[in-house]
Chain A
Amino acid sequence: MKNRLRILRAEREWSQQELADRLHVSRQTVNSIENGRYDPTLPLAFRIARVFEQPIETIFEDEA
């Protein structure tokens, strides 16, 4: 699954650690999601959407 996490984070000038703290996950988890190596669960995807104040479908894109 593709995502715009890195772009949205860069727009806000947040570090991976800052975003991780807001999402209550480890920095490594943010890194894995940004690299597309880990797809977050629905609850975490909703938390990401709330943090960036955007609908989920504008952040995550299904590759299928």
Chain B
Amino acid sequence: MSIPADSTAIRPRVLLKVLIGAAIYVAAVRFLMWFVENHPDSRWRIPAVVAPIAATGILVAAAMLNARGMDERDLRVHLEALAFGFLASLVFVTTYSFLWLAGVVSMQFELLSIPMVIFWILGLGVALWRYR
């Protein structure tokens, strides 16, 4: 499955930035969790907890700006990719939650974004292949 280099639906450089951003995000969240757990009396505790929300907001704004520059086929590609990513993530999170309730796995909320990104990329690949 090859991704066309000139498609506005996905540019390899953008995909690389998304993956690097996701990795930095997970590392930052893990650091903030360590900070919150080990500094329970710090006045920076609450800002540290809400900091990832600001980063997520910037990501959403960047994604929306990028979507405005796409043509109709590429918007369709992303709609299908997001639909797949959302529904597959829903199935994953539900399954993970039941396994957590059963005591099979430990809950690590900060890692839930990784399968979401993976499912989105999978959906993107399928949609690009369909409208190749």
Contacts and interface: CB of A to CB of B under 8 A. Distances in A.
A32 to B, nearest CB: 5
Interface of B, helix, strand, loop or mixed by DSSP = loop
Contacts of B72: 25, 29, 40-41, 44
Interface residues of A, number: 15
B132 A32 contact: yes
B7 A38 contact: no
A6 to B, nearest CB: 15
B71 A38 contact: no
A24 B72 CA distance: 10
Contacts of B7: 26, 28
Contacts, number: 40
Interface string B1-44: 00010111100000000000000000000000000000000000
A37 B130 contact: yes
The interface centre, meaning the residue of B7, B73, B76, B130 with most chain A CB atoms within 10 A of its CB, is: B73
A27 interface: yes
Interface of A: 24-29, 31-33, 35, 37-38, 40-41, 44
Interface of B: 4, 6-9, 71-74, 76, 130-132
